[in-house]
Amino acid sequence: MTTRTDYRRAQIDGAIPRRYFIQLSMTAAASVLSWLAAESQAAGKDCRPALTHSEQVLNALADTFIPNEEDSPGAVEACALEVILNPSYRFSLSLPVVITGLDGLAVLRYGRSFIELTLAQRTAIVEFKFRVPVEREIYALALVLTRLSYYGAVRSDVGIRSFGYPGPSTGYSCSYSYNLDPHTDERRLVRGNFN
């Protein structure tokens, strides 16, 4: 049994007692598993709604890239807004340029905000923005993040389910008996010198 003095002696020697190491390992594993369970439960929930005008414009942009069709969900259902606004991807730095650019061009061409336009009108505006050399990289990043949210199942798996990907394999079902005992399996019996 490990006592406090054994642990202190082990600290002096530079080693950790095995029992203490196993306890720490199990605690760390339990915390990681609980975090993963919380993440998987959060992934099953609906996406948060777009509240501000900027978020509505980004949702409309994502819907322009991968629209919601009758038989399959679009980028909005795949929570593209949350992926685009994730601070790790640093798209928020160019957010004012995107919002003012899309809304400004929509008002100039059609007299309405970008979120009020039809899919064909939004597509025309986004195609024009891709032809502007200064803004091309910003909209390319928005396109990549939208595709990541839809095809990469970052927040929701509706995208990969829409084209039939069943998800990670849980293993193979064993419907065939793999009995390889040469004494009982007729297929394995040697018909030769030992009969």
In terms of domains, do 140 and 61 share one? yes
Is residue 168, in this structure, part of any structural domain at all? no
Mean pLDDT across 47-72 = 86
In terms of domains, do 62 and 156 share one? yes
Tell me: the pLDDT tens digits for 18-41?
776 676 666 665 565 555 555 544
In terms of domains, do 12 and 75 share one? no
Confidence of residue 113 (pLDDT cuts 50, 70, 90): very high
In terms of domains, do 72 and 157 share one? yes
In terms of domains, do 138 and 157 share one? yes
Mean pLDDT across 147-160 = 82
Per the structure, the complete domain to which residue 118 belongs is given by: 53-162
In terms of domains, do 77 and 153 share one? yes
Is residue 179, in this structure, part of any structural domain at all? no
Our count of domains for the chain comes to 2
- What does the pLDDT read at residue 190? 47
In terms of domains, do 79 and 138 share one? yes
* pTM confidence score: 0.62
Is residue 119, in this structure, part of any structural domain at all? yes
In terms of domains, do 12 and 86 share one? no
Contact 95, 54 (CB under 8 A): yes
DSSP 11-46: HHHT---HHHHHHHHHHHHHHHHHHHHHHHHHHTSP
Name which of 175, 79, 94, 100 is nearest 140 in CA terms: 94
